[in-house]
Structure 1
Amino acid sequence: MTIDPNADRPVYKQLADLIRARIESGEYRPGQRLPAENHYVAEYGISRDSVRRAIAVLRGEGLIVTKLRGSRVREAGDADTISIAPGTQVTARMPTEPERKQLGIAEGVPILVITETHGETRKLPADRAIIEASTEASTDRAG
């Protein structure tokens, strides 16, 4: 895999594509730390800024998380199954910063907003929720 600096697609997007492909193929596994920025700079002959922009793209997609000591492939948490009754509305959106912190979700992960027919609203991380349609009253089997 190579990066073409003369291509129509920006270098940072090409690098994001390469890293994404490695994640999707399993070469980079959940929880595995990604190589340091210097590795990509040396391997592909690109700028540190391009590497940082590529990492930001992947973080925004929710594929990786970045902490003090580098970036890692995001691990899929155990999903909770939520039963919803007929008439319940489910919408998806990006969370606000306080919602993201409250729910403990990585940057780039959307939330599901579940509004019951009686008006109660719940917010759940989209990467850890399974929505199950029910013909009975709404229950939350996850707890």
Structure 2
Amino acid sequence: MIDPNADRALFRQLADQIRERISAGEFEPGQMLPSEAALGQEYGLARTAVRAALSLLRAEGLVESVRGLGSVVRDRPEPKPVRLHKGDEATVTLGEGLPRVVVVRASGDTETYPADGVILRPA
């Protein structure tokens, strides 16, 4: 439920709701989300709030936009374990709009992974 009196921004509340529906399997990978207008009507929000929520979900890699069609739930691969050894460093970046984990090995080698596709573990 969206609470207009809450301290959390409306678009963030909507993103939380959609994220939960994706996690619960209500929206499955490859499935189109309802249109911006339909989401706005369902949740009682302006289209700008709906667009901001969908933009946030795109940045998280949960949905992608298909030109002329709308937003589609992305297929999420099983996370890959990445072992970190002494001297390795891992950071998260927002390069090209999608979060990425960048691992710089002690040797100087760099590895980049989608943030939703990696689990960092100590060696």
Query: TM over 0.5, yes or no?
Result: yes
RMSD, matched Cα = 2.6
Corresponding residue of 2:114: 125
Q: Relative to 1, partners in 2 of residues 1:78 and 1:38: Cα closer, same or farther, differing over 3 Å?
A: same
> Residue 113 of structure 1 aligns with which residue?
103
Alignment map for 1:1-143 (pairs within 5 Å): 2-68=1-67, 69-77=69-77, 86-87=85-86, 89-97=88-96, 107-115=97-105, 117-129=106-118
**Counterparts of 1:82 and 1:11 in 2: how far apart (Å)?**
36
2:92/2:99 contact within 8 Å kept = no
| 1:78-123 residue CA offsets vs partner (Å, 9 max, x unmatched) | 6556566x435141221433xxxxxxxxx332222232x3322232
Structure 2, unpaired ranges of 5+: none
Cα 1:125–1:4 change in 2 (3 A) is closer
Rounded to whole Å, the distance in 2 between the matches of 1:76 and 1:109 is 14
Q: CA deviation at 1:71?
A: 1.2
Cα distance in 2 for residues equivalent to 1:131 and 1:6: 38
Q: 1:125 to 1:38 in 2, by over 3 A?
A: same
Calculate percent identity across the aligned residue pairs.
39
SS at match of 1:16: helix
The more displaced of 45-54 and 121-130 is: 121-130
> What letter corresponds to residue 75 of structure 1 in structure 2?
D
Query: CA deviation digits over 1:2-47, x for unaligned, max 9?
Result: 3233333332222112111101111111222111101112222221
Distance 1:75 1:118, change over 3 A: same
TM-score (norm 2): 0.75
1:48 Cα deviation from its structure 2 partner:
0.6
> Which residue identity is paired with 1:87?
K
| Partner amino acid, structure 1, of 2:101 | I
5+ residue gaps in structure 1? 98-106, 135-143
Aligned residues: 122
Q: Secondary structure at the match of 2:21?
A: helix
CA deviation after TM superposition for structure 1 residue 74, in Å: 1.9
